[in-house]
Structure 1
Amino acid sequence: MASPNSHHIIIEPTGETLLILDTPGAKFAVWTAFEDVGDGSHDTNAEDIDDEFFHQDGLEEEITPNWTKWEEHDMSEEEENIRRRADSPLPSVSMIWEEHSTHSTAYDSVKLVAPPALVYQISSTHLITASPRFKEELASQNEGCKDENGLFHLKASRWDPDAFTILLNVLHTRYRRVPKELSLEMVAKIAVMIDYYRCGEAFELISEIWIRHLRAHHSIPKTYNRDLMLWVLVSWVFKLPKEFSRCTARALRQCTQPSIQYLELCIPPVILQAIQTRRSSAIAQVLETCNYWIDEFSDTYTCKVGEHMSFECSSMLLGALMKQMKGLGFLSPRAIAPFDGFSLESMAEGVKGMRSPVWETYNEVNELYPISHSCSLETTVVRDLGRVVARVKGLVLGDFLDEGEGLED
């Protein structure tokens, strides 16, 4: 029997199974904030990483396809409540605090009580058809497992109750009960369950509606933060190649830590490792480019204005480069892998902002009026660095899919 301290939700009135959700609303995707990690998921002042060095992403703006039209209907009170709660970034069901005030003490006693379990009446046939994991869990059920009311029992735990209700309604094809507009937070919670229960096919149509809304109202953040990693998850689970490439590009360019914060989400380790490896490799190439020009200015550099000025020219450029590299933290001590505290984007911006020595020379034609010397860091180090960073791309979704898995256009 279900506990009396529980809420009963009917998904299928004729269902022969009770699915009990214990400890609903556990913390989801907890982000550890670092001092240099900004929020700014929608910061219009943040420089778009597709500009300047990063303009060669090869990723164009999304064109909204002709989406499946769902039947219009009045919003039910239940759906309205789900939508309202879905906008909150916190778990929908929180721990319940009971406060007991007495006149004999100066303080109230506070007791932490676990949230009540939720009991769903469902159809096992629908779950078996849609989800291999539910099929495995229900395979052990037989007539002897029924309770006194003739119902089978299943258990789940820690899922967000609103997201879980949406999942079950979709698996039972109760689409009129399913909100058509969800927050990124809610779509991510559902994506985790889709991955866990392996029921992606059942969500192919409705997910198009959700993704369309996200593209319009919850765009991919310009900074590496929690929402960006939620987008990585969503683009992976729902097989969105352009969003996946863009998200992973921004993560590897802006992450300052050796390890990507995956928030205990179902992002495959091979993807996380690929982001980390590509980040480290790109930062190493930035430093190699700077070190190449240190060697070049120290040894073999020939001044483009006049070979007889090579010593003076290279000495000034060498000093300017090393001085500013030290100021950026690239030298003394030398930055080494895994480059903790460095991001590819901040390093590229730092090098791009390097100042070149300003000095004047005379040419053979006009010996009376000096002209500005044309050799600079912009035409050497910065130019080469731009080429390096422009080659840094996001991951390709198809590289991580098993053969036969489809991609959304």
Structure 2
Amino acid sequence: MDSKTPLQGLKRKAPLAPDEGYRRTAAGFIAKSETCTPVATNGDIIVYTPDTPLINSKKSAEQGNHARFLVSSRHLALASPYFKAMLRDCWAEGSALSEKGYTEIPVKECKPDILLIVLNIIHGRSQQVPKKLSLQQLTNIAVITDFFQCNEAIVMAAKTWKAAIEKRSPLFPSSVSPAIKIKSWILISSVFGFHDTHKLVTKIAMQEGTGPLMTDALPIPKHTKGVPDRRS
């Protein structure tokens, strides 16, 4: 009687690559992810902006599609209480991630280039983060940072952008209307904890304002909305 066991003599299969089993069970998701801008190579979430131009790091922008970014749930949850809460099992996105190993999350009312900057920072891709931004871009960054509640992750980059803006132009550059400048800097200083700047801009608003501060849908803290507005 042959002493070999049934398994002996068979060629052992090479172990699966860390993500190969996942890729086999999520072929549809992987196919979709291949059309995304990869922020995390082996990401398990597609974050997308509905009804906005496609942003792809390898292609030029294409109109009529939405921007899609492949990201890591672990990085999102570590940096953002917003995503951490969303990815719990009690929510649809968290349940899908737990059961299937992947999910998709829409981010509305955010420009793709701004979202990509924030996602790159969250994922530690510092080489992909611009060193300079305009005041309007920094304002948009502050809005999405406040929404994601990821202030701590973004603040160091925000300090760099703020310093660059102040270096190349006054705190209130003439190319931007006074009212917009004040609202932008109030928001930026509130979100990122720039206390000296916040004190300065609110003082200017109090001195030169003519009525309640109109926030123009910016997420300016309620305690600041009583500051008089300055007419442009």
TM-score, structure 1 length as denominator?
0.42
**Alignment correspondent of 1:58:** none
**Separation of aligned partners in 2, 1:167 and 1:265:** 18
Say whether residues 1:126 and 2:66 are aligned partners. no
Say whether residues 1:211 and 2:162 are aligned partners. yes
SS of the aligned residue for 2:87 comes to helix
Equivalent of 2:109 in 138, 151, 158:
158
Contact 1:220–1:228 (CA under 8 A) maintained in structure 2: no
Say whether residues 1:263 and 2:206 are aligned partners. no
User: Cα–Cα, structure 1 residues 24 and 270, in superposed 2: closer, same or farther, change >3 Å?
Assistant: farther
User: Cα–Cα, structure 1 residues 151 and 248, in superposed 2: closer, same or farther, change >3 Å?
Assistant: same
**Alignment correspondent of 2:201:** 247
Contact 1:130–1:202 (CA under 8 A) maintained in structure 2: yes
**Alignment correspondent of 2:39:** 11
Matched ranges for 1:4-403 at <5 A: 8-24=36-52, 115-140=64-89, 141-142=94-95, 151-221=102-172, 224-256=178-210, 258-273=211-226, 275-276=227-228
**Separation of aligned partners in 1, 2:122 and 2:83:** 11
SS of the aligned residue for 1:20 comes to strand
The Cα shift of 1:230 comes to 0.8
**Separation of aligned partners in 2, 1:241 and 1:143:** 41
SS of the aligned residue for 2:40 comes to coil
User: Cα–Cα, structure 1 residues 9 and 142, in superposed 2: closer, same or farther, change >3 Å?
Assistant: same
SS of the aligned residue for 1:19 comes to strand
| RMSD of aligned residue pairs (Cα, Å) | 3.1
CA deviations 1:294-353 (Å, max 9, x no partner) are xxxxxxxxxxxxxxxxxxxxxxxxxxxxxxxxxxxxxxxxxxxxxxxx98xxxxxxxxxx
Contact 2:190–2:221 (CA under 8 A) maintained in structure 1: no
The Cα shift of 1:127 comes to 0.3
TM-score, structure 2 length as denominator?
0.72
CA deviations 1:113-153 (Å, max 9, x no partner) are xx421111100000001100001111132357766xx5311
Structure with more helix by fraction: 2
Identity %: 23
SS of the aligned residue for 1:142 comes to helix
Contact 1:146–1:152 (CA under 8 A) maintained in structure 2: no
Q: Which amino acid aligns with 2:74?
A: T
**Separation of aligned partners in 2, 1:235 and 1:166:** 19
SS of the aligned residue for 1:202 comes to helix
**Separation of aligned partners in 1, 2:223 and 2:185:** 17
Q: Which amino acid aligns with 1:20?
A: Y
The Cα shift of 1:187 comes to 0.8
User: Cα–Cα, structure 1 residues 23 and 215, in superposed 2: closer, same or farther, change >3 Å?
Assistant: same
The Cα shift of 1:191 comes to 0.6
CA deviations 1:60-95 (Å, max 9, x no partner) are xxxxxxxxxxxxxxxxx95xx9xxxxxxxxxxx99x
The Cα shift of 1:240 comes to 1.2
Higher RCO (C-alpha under 8 Å, 6+ residues apart): 1
SS of the aligned residue for 2:107 comes to strand
Q: Which amino acid aligns with 1:135?
A: K
